């Protein structure tokens, strides 16, 4: 089994799928890329058992067919040192030894029998829908940061996807903050919902950012499969029931503050430097057309205050928020202005973009308040 391929093309495809590889695999063979050769095309896979990514590339020359598992790290490190040159990989079908030839260099490494590599799970009784890659990229980018890192509540450690004939909704929460990202221009004939894990979504986001093409999404009760150009990603869905997120979104918020997003975010960043470094609490004091931001760290006698102009409708109010969460949310929005909707100092606040250019996009961000120091 032998083939010739461009080193830069091979490296680009390997890098696109290499993020799936884990550093603490239970199966040693998962430290390898699986190469499967047939009909002038090579199929390369990387897996951590939960997620598998596969890429197909055309080769310049192919002899024989078969499969071999090649150590991922040494192959990536070697290819990174080449400029764009043709590389020949010659695999011994008896002992799976791999000889890589490029220019005047010859490199040998030990491969493994490709048939021992775990198979990608088949998706049975599946349904599917198509989504533009830029929309999916936005949906992942705007929600994934709000997903939980708590292993004890695995359902919250992913992004909840809800399909209907009217829209598609993506939700992420860690119980302190919540993001609901809804698209009116993505619809599904069948209503369904599932929870996508964070790691495969991060890998998907990395490859989607490189290009613009439709993504076909196929899903069953246990797995989801994303097909994007020459790359296929299959991942296991998170098993469990997602919390009722609509119940925590307050319906009546009579106090509404509109403010310029960038100056608001920068002011919170500055003031928060002087806040208590365990709570990151910043106090909002809103009255008339003025927003006063205050933070203090009594242990070090640090204190900061800053005043901003805003448009406010409602009763004078004092409320505390975690500045890290606020900044994280504001930097994931793009509009010039944002509206902060509130009801009581102990109830969640809603951040909503004002005058979004995309009418098919509906974003709502929720942040829980922190109790103000007496």
DSSP string, 300-365: TTEEEEEEEE-EEESS-EEEEEEHHHHHHHHHT--SSEEEEEES-TTS-EEEEEES-S-TTEEEEE
DSSP per residue over 89-111, as a string? EEE-TTT-EEEEEETTEEEEEE-
* pLDDT number for residue 338: 98
Write down the domain spans for the chain.
Answer: 2-116, 127-246, 249-367
Determine the pLDDT at residue 356.
87
281-298 average pLDDT score: 95
Is residue 228 a contact partner of residue 213, using CB atoms and an 8 Å limit?
A: yes
Q: So what's the pLDDT on residue 198?
A: 95
* Domains 127-246 and 249-367 belong to one CATH topology: yes
Q: What does the pLDDT read at residue 374?
A: 46
Per-residue pLDDT at 40: 86
Instruction: For residue 357, name the pLDDT band (cuts at 50, 70, 90).
Output: confident
Average pLDDT of 245-273? 96
Given a cut of 60, whether residue 358 has pLDDT beyond it is yes
Confidence of residue 8 (pLDDT cuts 50, 70, 90): very high
Q: In this predicted model, what pLDDT tens digit does every residue of 144-157 receive, in sequence order? A: 999 999 888 999 99
Q: What pLDDT score does 25 carry?
A: 85
CATH ID of 127-246, from 3.40.50.720, 3.10.150.10, 3.50.50.60, 2.60.40.1170: 3.10.150.10
Give residue 373's pLDDT band: very low, low, confident or very high (50, 70, 90). low
Mean pLDDT calculated for residue range 104-115:
96
Summarize the confidence of residues 249-267 as an average pLDDT.
Answer: 96
Q: What is the pLDDT of residues 19-69, one digit of tens each?
A: 999 988 889 999 999 999 988 899 999 999 999 999 999 999 999 999 999
**Cα–chain center distance at 332:** 13
pTM for this entry = 0.92
Structure confidence at residue 108 (pLDDT): 96
CATH placement of domain 249-367: 3.10.150.10
Task: Give the domain 2-116 fold.
Answer: DNA Polymerase III; Chain A, domain 2 (3.10.150)
**Is residue 325 packed enough to be buried (19+ CB in 10 Å), middle (13-18) or exposed (0-12)?**
buried
pLDDT for residue 121: 87
Residue 78 pLDDT > 70: yes
Give the rounded percent of residues in the chain with a pLDDT score beyond 90. Answer: 91
Instruction: Compute the mean pLDDT over every residue in the chain, rounded to the nearest whole number.
Output: 94
Confidence class of residue 80 from pLDDT cuts 50, 70 and 90?
very high
- Contacts with 283 (C-beta within 8 Å, 6 or more apart), sequence order: 293, 294, 295, 318, 319, 320, 372
- Looking at residue 6, its pLDDT comes to 96
Residue 210 has what pLDDT?
63
- Residue 256 pLDDT > 50, yes or no? yes
- Mean pLDDT along residues 262-283: 96
Model confidence band, residue 330 (pLDDT cutoffs 50, 70, 90): very high
């Amino acid at each position: 089994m032998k083939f010739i391929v461009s080193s830069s093309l091979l490296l680009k495809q390997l890098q696109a799928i290499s993020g799936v590889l884990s550093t603490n695999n239970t199966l040693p063979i998962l430290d390898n890329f699986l190469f499967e050769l047939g009909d002038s095309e090579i199929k390369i896979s990387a897996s951590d058992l939960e997620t598998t990514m596969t890429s197909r590339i055309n080769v310049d020359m192919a002899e024989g067919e078969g499969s071999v598992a090649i150590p991922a790290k040494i192959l990536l490190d070697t290819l990174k040192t080449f400029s764009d040159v043709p590389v020949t990989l010659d695999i011994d079908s008896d002992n799976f030894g791999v000889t890589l030839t490029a220019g005047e260099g010859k490199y040998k490494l030990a491969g493994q029998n490709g048939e021992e590599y775990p198979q990608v799970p088949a998706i049975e009784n599946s349904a599917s829908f198509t989504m533009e890659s830029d929309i999916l990229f936005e949906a992942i980018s705007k929600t994934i940061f709000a997903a939980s890192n708590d292993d004890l509540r695995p359902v919250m450690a992913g992004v909840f996807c809800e399909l209907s004939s009217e829209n598609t909704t993506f939700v992420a929460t860690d119980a302190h903050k919540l993001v609901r990202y809804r698209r009116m221009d993505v619809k599904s004939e069948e209503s369904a919902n599932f929870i996508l894990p964070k790691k495969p979504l991060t890998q998907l986001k990395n490859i989607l950012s490189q290009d613009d093409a439709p993504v076909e999404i196929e899903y069953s009760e246990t797995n989801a499969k994303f097909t994007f150009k020459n790359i296929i990603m299959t991942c296991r869905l998170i098993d469990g029931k997602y919390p009722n997120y609509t119940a925590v979104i307050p319906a009546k918020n009579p106090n509404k503050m509109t403010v310029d997003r960038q100056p608001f975010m920068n002011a919170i960043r500055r003031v928060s430097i002087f806040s208590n470094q365990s709570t990151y609490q910043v106090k909002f004091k809103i009255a008339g057309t003025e927003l006063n931001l205050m933070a203090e760290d009594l242990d070090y006698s640090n204190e900061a205050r800053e005043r901003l102009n805003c448009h406010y409708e409602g009763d004078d109010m004092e409320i505390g928020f975690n500045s890290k969460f606020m900044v994280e949310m504001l930097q994931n929005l793009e509009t010039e202005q944002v509206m902060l909707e509130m009801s009581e100092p102990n109830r969640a606040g809603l951040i909503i973009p004002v005058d979004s250019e995309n009418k098919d996009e509906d974003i709502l961000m929720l942040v829980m308040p922190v109790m103000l120091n007496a």
